[in-house]
Structure 1
Amino acid sequence: MKDGDMIIFPTDTVYGLATRLYDDVGLKNIFELKKRDKSKTIPILVSKIVDINPIAHYNDDALKLMTSFWPGPLTIILKSTQDFFKKTGEATVAVRIPNHYIALNVIDEFGPMRTTSVNQSGERELNCLTKIKEKYGDKVFHIYGEYEGKYGGIPSTIIDMSKNELKVIREGTITFEQLTEALNK
């Protein structure tokens, strides 16, 4: 991948449109391709919890949720490190470890990836590989995926732990009850 490149790969929830973590041109291209509001940040997928350390701060409760639900469909909003804030201007950052071997292999190869669903903002996610190739094949560097089929289809649960307390932003397959149960273990 070179600066500005975008790729598409399957995750355990939906297909992701991604670029390297600090690729500002790639990030701009994602916003333009999706017609996404620039005030909405793009989550970061990592392959290991340790990969979060240069990006965000987390407390014991956030770590408990990470170890309980990752890899998996839980996105956690955390307070950015000072270094990450200086590079991006983002005070908080959403992070996740997906539970899909292709996504994890891509992240291991290219490092943490800014990743969002494959769709136009406000539209349903595309989870059909053939349709993704038809619509985005000439706009991205590479599309990963070995077979036709659907993945999960339900976006991840999003929680905010940036203020060191649990706040559910969007409930996906992981429920509030499951989250509080994990915190109380």
Structure 2
Amino acid sequence: MEKGQVIIFPTDTIYGMGCQLYDKVALERIYEIKKRSHDKDIPVLVSSIVQINVIAKYDSKALRIMQNFWPGPLTLILQSTPDFYNKTGDKTIAIRIPDHYVTIELINNFGPLRTTSVNISGEEPLNKIEDIRKQYGNVVDHIYGEHVGHYIGIASTIVDISNGSIKLVREGAIPFEDILAVYNK
């Protein structure tokens, strides 16, 4: 993946549209393609907890949640590290470790990926590769659709734990009660 490129690829939940973590040109393209408001940040996919240490701060409760649910369909909103904040202006960051070999291989090759669903903001995500190719084939730089893999077709659950408490942002593949039980252990 070269600088400025936007790709579409399968994840363990739904197809993702993404770019390299600090690629501002490609990130802006994603906002334009999706017609997404700039006040909605785009989450980051990483391949290991070690990668998180450079971009986010977390406590023992957050680590316990990570160890219980990752890799998998849970996105955590955490406080940004000073370095990440200085590079992006984002005080918080939504992070996830997916459970899909294609996604992990992309991350291992290109580093953490800013990733969002494949759709126009507010519409249902596209999950059939034929529909994705038809709508986005001429808009993005590459579509990784030839890979057969598992995905559940439901977006990840998003939980905000950036301020010392836990808050459900979006119900998804993992029930909030399950996450809450681990958080309160």
Q: Measure, in 1, the Cα distance between the counterparts of 2:12 and 2:46.
A: 13
- CA displacement 1:22-51 (0-9 Å, x = unmatched): 000000000000000011000000000110
Q: Secondary structure at the match of 1:158?
A: strand
Q: Does 1:117 align with 2:117?
A: yes
Contact residue 13 and residue 153 of structure 2 kept, 8 A:
yes
Contact residue 128 and residue 149 of structure 1 kept, 8 A:
no
Q: Does 1:143 align with 2:143?
A: yes
Unaligned runs of 5+ in 1: none
Contact residue 14 and residue 127 of structure 1 kept, 8 A:
yes
Match of 1:161 in 2: 161
Tell me: CA distance 1:124–1:67, structure 2 relative to 1, closer, same or farther (3 Å). Answer: same
Larger mean Cα displacement after TM superposition, 86-95 or 172-181: 172-181
Q: Measure, in 1, the Cα distance between the counterparts of 2:3 and 2:176.
A: 39
Deviation at 1:134, TM superposition (A): 1.3
Match of 2:44 in 1: 44
- CA displacement 1:135-163 (0-9 Å, x = unmatched): 11122121112257983121100000101
Match of 1:62 in 2: 62
Q: In percent, how many aligned pairs have the same letter?
A: 55
Query: Cα RMSD between the aligned structures?
Result: 1.4
- CA displacement 1:91-121 (0-9 Å, x = unmatched): 0000000111111111111100000000001
Match of 1:96 in 2: 96
Correspondence list, 1:10-29, <5 A: 10-29=10-29
Deviation at 1:165, TM superposition (A): 1.6
Tell me: CA distance 1:147–1:109, structure 2 relative to 1, closer, same or farther (3 Å). Answer: closer
Deviation at 1:180, TM superposition (A): 2.2
Q: Measure, in 1, the Cα distance between the counterparts of 2:108 and 2:147.
A: 21
TM-score by length of 1: 0.96
Q: Does 1:80 align with 2:80?
A: yes
Q: Kindly report structure 1 stretches of 4+ aligned residues shifted beyond 6 Å.
A: none
- CA displacement 1:36-95 (0-9 Å, x = unmatched): 001100000000011011101000000000010000000000000111111100000000
Q: Does 1:152 align with 2:146?
A: no
Q: Measure, in 2, the Cα distance between the counterparts of 1:55 and 1:72.
A: 19
Q: Measure, in 2, the Cα distance between the counterparts of 1:12 and 1:107.
A: 14
Q: Measure, in 2, the Cα distance between the counterparts of 1:176 and 1:138.
A: 38
Matched residues, number = 185
Q: Which amino acid aligns with 2:41?
A: T
Contact residue 102 and residue 147 of structure 2 kept, 8 A:
no
Q: Secondary structure at the match of 1:13?
A: coil
Q: Secondary structure at the match of 1:26?
A: helix
Tell me: CA distance 1:174–1:24, structure 2 relative to 1, closer, same or farther (3 Å). Answer: same
Deviation at 1:184, TM superposition (A): 4.1
